């Protein structure tokens, strides 16, 4: 899976657990398990078992060019109004 934004990688499936590091936007990570009730994904990070919240992961990389094009179009529309 890929990080859909910068996201912390944690020692356990909670924001109260220690941070082991972070993923940058579009960085790939191997998911090894998940908790459907809490939304946390178990991952392998630098050889260790770690956790990332599933809401910050996607199956495809974020298309930065498409996002920039949409922002530009919205700004032009707002300026024209």
> On the CB side of 33, how many CA atoms lie within 13 Å of its CA?
9
Q: Dmax over Cα atoms in the chain, in whole Å? A: 53
DSSP strands (E only) in the chain: 2-3, 7-10, 19-23, 30-34, 40-45, 48-53, 57-58
Q: Please give the Cα distance from 37 to 29 (Å, whole number).
A: 21
* Per-residue tokens: 25: 């936007």
Q: What is the pLDDT of residues 24-38, one digit of tens each?
A: 999 999 999 998 889
Place 67 in a pLDDT band, splitting at 50, 70 and 90: confident
How crowded is residue 13: how many other Cβ atoms within 10 Å of its Cβ? 18
pLDDT computed for residue 35 by the predictor: 86
Tell me what the mean pLDDT of segment 57-70 comes to: 90
More confident residue, 9 or 70: 9
Place 81 in a pLDDT band, splitting at 50, 70 and 90: confident
């Amino acid at each position: 899976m890929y990080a859909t934004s910068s996201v912390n990688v944690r020692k356990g499936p909670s924001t109260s657990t220690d941070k082991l590091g972070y993923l940058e936007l579009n960085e790939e990570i191997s998911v090894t398990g998940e908790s459907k009730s809490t939304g946390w994904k178990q991952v392998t990070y630098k050889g260790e078992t770690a956790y990332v919240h599933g809401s910050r992961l996607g199956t495809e990389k974020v298309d930065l060019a498409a996002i920039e094009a949409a922002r530009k179009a919205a700004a032009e529309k707002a300026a024209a109004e």
